[in-house]
Amino acid sequence: MVDLLPETLQRWQAVEAVARQHFLRSGFGEIRTPLLESTDLFCRGIGEGTDVVGKEMYSFHDRGDRSCTLRPEGTASVVRAAVQHGLLSQGAQKLWYAGPMFRYERPQAGRQRQFHQIGVEWLGAASARSDVEVIALAWDLLAQLGVGGLALEINSLGTSEDRQAYRAALVAWLEQRRDQLDADSQARLNTNPLRILDSKNPETQALLEQAPTLVDALCPESSQRFAAVQEGLTALGIPFRLNDRLVRGLDYYGHTAFEITSDQLGAQATVCGGGRYDGLVGQLGGPATPAIGWALGMERLLLVLEAAAKADPMGPAARLVSARAPDAYLVNRGERAESVGLALARALRQQGLTVELDGSGASFGKQFKRADRSGARWAVVLGDEEAERSEARLKPLKQQSEESTVALSEIAAMVGLLRCQ
Ligand code: ATP
Ligand code: MG
């Protein structure tokens, strides 16, 4: 689990601000659910045979001897909350969330045990067009952030009957080649055979090239639905690739499943994943409600953004991740200057400026170096003499203009005015 330090968080918040605006414009409302849920919610919701439930959950017994789990994902909790509060009786719900998730996995670049997701859930959406809208919501958010090198992959998992038929065909085919499978996949043959399609083992992957595909097993209605989703994406100009092995890691998915990957992430390439889960609301005790959603990994998104910023230092990603410099850096030294400085910083902040006050009492030279490093456009310089006269020197740090001496009461206007130029 990782600490998030100020430099990262400043980027983080810039991303969240863009996402928040994007969701607001799209009619999605924010929901926050507890980090801790009853373990049973995830066993029922995500499925016992999945990696997440089988080996990745942080579960423990609380003092009341109830089995609790730190949430490994957001969808089950959002659905639980919507059911519990009767939100679905008010019609379809468009919801988004952001926050930490917990999975016991091997930590590596782009994979932590506490990580963060931003996600959306649209409960009560049935049409193929809603699939297209939800995918576009993710695609457009990433585009707005200035992330390039992305690829959208889609698949259809069909109905549960389609999957049952396919599962049988796949198991029959793989049983004959059991000895060519890696150990994990052999075990999955009996528990969750569709997961084998997700195997990262190169030999298993090569073998699967020849295996029967899900797309071929879809009934005509499922095929038509999938075709409509593809047409919808094409009509919006969103490029995609069919990936008939994309099954997603959670049991609740059916019909459309999708992932957005980046060419900047190495092995942990998936930035965003989602799909349709028409059965989940009913399964968790709510009224039968079709639904679709996605989640993106914040840490991976930031890795991609940083790469994009490096590749194009003037582009939108670079603007987003660049540190916000203060408007002014307040250089102050001397008994009188330091007490006036403290009051002045406060007054300037109250007038809306971002001000960094040097509190070191160090030499003017050292303070000027720090002022330069801060990226501020102005140094406001206070010595005892200036302070005595209720004045300060205003020294430009980045732009070509003259240093001047101004009354303390004029500084905010000067800095604020010049900021806009
Ligand atoms: P992966 O195949 O990489 O394990 P997943 O299918 O388990 O991903 P989802 O459950 O679909 O992931 O979660 C959606 C997104 O959340 C992922 O695409 C990824 O960006 C992010 N994510 C998932 N697990 C982690 C993790 N352990 N650390 C960081 N980000 C993660
Ligand atoms: Mg995973």
How confident is the model over 127-151, as pLDDT tens digits? Answer: 999 999 999 999 999 999 998 889 9
Q: Ligand 1 pocket by C-beta < 6 Å: which residues?
A: 73, 103, 105, 110-112, 115, 117, 249, 268, 270-273, 295-297, 299-300
AA identity, residue 4: L
CATH code, domain with 348: 3.40.50.800
Q: From ligand 2's centre to the CA of 329, what distance in Å?
A: 45
**Substitution candidate for ligand 1 out of 1, 73, 300 with most atoms within 8 A of CB:** 300
pLDDT for 420 equals 53
Atom of ligand 1 nearest to the CA of 72: 10
Answer yes or no: is pLDDT of 200 > 90: no
Residues 235 and 368 in one domain: no
**Sorting pLDDT into bands at 50, 70 and 90, what band is 419?**
low
* Average pLDDT for 44-69: 92
Residues 277 and 332 in one domain: no
Angle 335-350/408-419 helices, nearest 10 degrees? 50
Enclosing domain of residue 134? 6-158+218-320
284's tokens: 């968790």
* Average pLDDT for 151-159: 96
Q: From ligand 1's centre to the CA of 297, what distance in Å?
A: 6
pLDDT for 218 equals 95
Is 205 domain-assigned?
Answer: no
Residues 106 and 246 in one domain: yes
Residues 297 and 350 in one domain: no
Residues 388 and 336 in one domain: yes
Residues 264 and 408 in one domain: no
198's tokens: 């997700």
Q: Give me the number of domains the chain comprises.
A: 2
Report how far residue 364's alpha carbon sits from residue 355's, in angstroms, rounded to the nearest whole number. 17
Atom of ligand 1 nearest to the CA of 110: 29
Residues 302 and 351 in one domain: no
Residues 252 and 367 in one domain: no
Residue nearest to atom 28 of ligand 1 (CA): 111
Residues 229 and 363 in one domain: no
pLDDT digits (tens, 9 = 90+) for 329-360: 999 999 999 999 999 999 999 999 999 999 99
Report how far residue 151's alpha carbon sits from residue 311's, in angstroms, rounded to the nearest whole number. 18
Atom of ligand 1 nearest to the CA of 51: 7
CATH code, domain with 86: 3.30.930.10
Q: From ligand 2's centre to the CA of 12, what distance in Å?
A: 22
